[in-house]
Structure 1
């Protein structure tokens, strides 16, 4: 049965009717896409209010496109499908030759009624964490939204209404990070409509999102080890571990007030470096294998009290556009209902033991969950997914390493797992990845020949202000 479904799209196909909607232009691409609005119930258990979802379709490049598109499911939770538009010409350029690519702004993100808390603080870098927490609570209350309706299951049901609206009988799914959880949820709710799935940076069904201390520390330890085994890096930063520990110990005692040039105005201003900001930036850097190779230099510079490079990297995550970035309240709506209720004191203690991500960083989410007032979503043992699945992991991923994909694989009948040794979080775009996506989707029951992934090199370390080594 599965083989028949896999071979069906290979038959000759007629020209495809253009997707409904109208031409639109989204940031990240110069070409016109097809955009439409799809109304969905706010609450699937009761009639009444609706939400308007923004959907964009990147039509297949060939006229004789196959009738099983690829739906892209963004991560976070809190990212929008439209945030993935820049990947159309990178990760998905091979797939798009013969398939439509569909991007949905998940309810509460992007152009689908984004739940947002933009800061009105002119000097975010100087406010205390207590003030930042109070501001977030005030925003959550002021939005006055039924956060209990913004669950992963509701988003999965939205996907099926979009599928119907676009007239597809079966679809393929690509889910990155949290998007992999959403994809798995959809596959279990609507198995008859799933042809195949690619899950990159796989969130296991039993994974508790805030509990990331163990995986983060493992990624940092691997980075330190790689630096020590790399002669130029080891020579430039011989005391990297102790320097990192010294910075953490100092910031745990008290925040550090720095006076640095403002990146926008060049005027001197104070910057408040706290333990949470420092460790949060380190964690963020570890997501990218290329970016992580800058971390030894950034740590060493900060240890020598030259904080400018570290502050500059910390500010990368702060986009100057007010509506940019993930939807924080949507993130909380999901995590506070589906993850945090399962975070027991014993699990928290085990996860943070000997990790640079300690209890304070994780418990901050709990402080905001008290304001969200969302009921816990009970966790149940997942049913088996019968559709073919390609799991992809980066060995250096600090949040969804290969062990998470292996845990998810236990609940899949036809799954194969590819690991990129020199990859971090999300690896579809690396090396031969785009070609492998196309090959898998064309023949999802056939093993993927992934030897080429071993050819993806490790980026060079940055040793000084001049940038990475040649």
Structure 2
């Protein structure tokens, strides 16, 4: 699942069966008037889409409204289960409709007996996406120019940023459940979606049958302060390369090469003249320390991607930057629709995370991978001018919960789930050795999701996840080893 916390413009600045019906019930009958067949990118099935009006401010139900887009993938077997799986995407800023392709992977077993309901959080996807236009020229702008573009985008946006909080999004979920006529629901959250899922379970405990949280954010986690977790994942990668005969032989000085590149870029940006990886036309690119570190951090999310990092670092250390630039472009491509909503991301983080970025927290957050974000975002937050959301001691969650962690995760490593589990009465935590950020679509995980949702009160036997092998390292230009 895509769970990147930054999107193209921001990332470049900071890192330089259609006939099936809806569930029965009077509310569903009313909602079904607006239901239509629809298709989403990456999904071959005809799905069902509906738009539900919610208050901009839930304290003023008679006030202005927002339209929340919901996509329903009906259960393959009708009449078998009345408890759907509500899917909450990551970011903050990713939409439920963006992760609908998970129907064929993570949710293929679950959908046999349950509706899968993808919710576009307010300000994302088809729910009034708060975004900035991504342009090809952004890749060649300086970080100051990119920040100016962001500030201009913020100033031109009339949306009430203060209304786009996790709490408001959780209340939207309840409005969706009620409008569609569902009883208790199961909630799946990935990455930031785990924060939203926990918030919903605390606000509406009577509505939640079970929780599946993949890449778990702890209640006290501050998103921009992730340098220590990122550095731990990078150190693990260096250690794995040193223990792998092929990787160690090919890149015997990997850590020194990496640290040398960081030191060189921190001393001064590097002007690169090379063929554009997309067009092959000559182009001048400025590589800065923040862009380099941001790209490295993004690569660490996926172990398969991370196993290419030694090749990318070594090539750059030898002066051949083309492979690294090509990989950097993946996080800032111009696909448009599937990108995380830039301004929604900042609205949430500026209100909920930045106010908790104390000097003590930042001093303890050792590492460099996310330091640019932590240093620069407070200034940008002033432009959004959102009030701080006070941190509250989390209430206990009584619903059964399955927590999934990848041992190599650079942003929500296992210790984050362990902290979250302290506030849950019935939590099962599964750590998968050779996995990074996102477990649900790998190996036997889809089968385990179905088993847990069928009997969430039972102990889950997750031993099969140990069979997921580590990816091989890339030792040359022809890709990873067989």
Instruction: Please give the secondary structure, in 1, of the residue aligned with 2:475.
Output: strand
Q: Distance in 1 between matches of 2:457 and 2:348?
A: 33
Distance (Å, rounded) in 2 between the aligned partners of 1:81 and 1:184: 17
Structure 1: distance between partners of 2:353 and 2:24: 42
Q: Does 1:55 find its partner at 2:67?
A: no
Equivalence for 1:258: 272
Is 1:164 paired with 2:178?
A: yes
Q: Which residue of 1 aligns with 2:83?
A: 68
**1:276 partnered with 2:290:** yes
Secondary structure at the aligned position of 1:114 is classed as coil
Determine whether 1:35 maps to 2:46: no
TM-score, structure 2 normalization: 0.92
What secondary structure sits across from 1:37 in the alignment? strand
Q: Which residue is equivalent to 1:300?
A: 314
Deviation of 1:64 after TM superposition, in Å, equals 2.7
Which residue of structure 2 lines up, in the alignment, with residue 97 of structure 1? 112
Question: Are 1:385 and 2:397 matched, yes or no?
Answer: yes
Deviation at 1:319, TM superposition (A): 2.4
Structure 1 residue 71 displacement after superposition: 0.4
Kindly indicate whether the alpha-carbon contact (under 8 Å) linking 2:294 and 2:370 is maintained by their aligned counterparts in 1.
no
Deviates more, 1:254-263 or 1:192-201: 254-263
DSSP-derived class of the 2:210 partner: strand
Q: 1:238 aligns with which of 245, 249, 252?
A: 252
Trace 1:25-424 onto structure 2 (pairs within 5 A).
25-46=39-60, 47-120=62-135, 122-351=136-365, 353=366, 355-357=367-369, 359-424=371-436
- 2:18 corresponds to: none
Question: Contact 1:16/1:65 (CA < 8 Å) preserved in 2?
Answer: no
Q: In the alignment, which residue of structure 1 is the partner of 2:476?
A: 464
Task: Give the counterpart of 1:23 among 30, 37, 40.
Answer: 37
1:65 and 1:173 mapped to 2: Cα distance? 18
Q: Distance in 1 between matches of 2:106 and 2:200?
A: 22
- Cα gap change, 1:270/1:241 in structure 2, threshold over 3 Å: closer, same or farther? same
1:442 to 447, 454, 457: 454
Rounded Cα–Cα distance in structure 2 between residues aligned with 1:116 and 1:364: 19
4+ residue runs over 4 A deviation: 14-19
Cα shift at 1:16:
5.6
In 1, distance between residues paired with 2:250 and 2:473?
Answer: 10
Summarize deviations over 1:48-73 as a string: whole Å, max 9, x none: 11001110000001123300000000
Does the residue aligned with 2:57 lie in a helix, a strand or coil? Answer: coil
Displacement after TM superposition at 1:260 (Å)? 1.7
Q: Specify every segment of 5 or more residues in structure 1 that has no aligned partner in the other structure, as ranges.
A: 1-13
Tell me how far 1:358 sits from its aligned partner: 5.7
Matches of 1:170 and 1:181 in 2, distance apart? 19
In 2, distance between residues paired with 1:194 and 1:162?
13
Indicate the RMSD between aligned Cα atoms, in angstroms: 1.4
Could you report, residue by residue, the CA deviation over 1:399-448 in whole angstroms, capped at 9, with x for unpaired residues? 00000000000000000100000010011111110000000000000000
Q: Distance in 2 between matches of 1:208 and 1:358?
A: 12
Equivalent residues of 1:187, 1:194 under 8 A apart: yes
Do the aligned partners of 2:417 and 2:429 also contact (CA within 8 Å) in 1? Answer: yes
The equivalent residue for 2:3 is: none
CA offset digits 1:253-278 (Å, max 9, x no partner): 11111112123322111111111110
CA deviation vs aligned residue, 1:191-217 (integer Å, no higher than 9, x gap): 001000000000000001110011000
User: SS at the partner of 1:252?
Assistant: helix
CA contact (8 A) 2:93 2:124 kept: yes
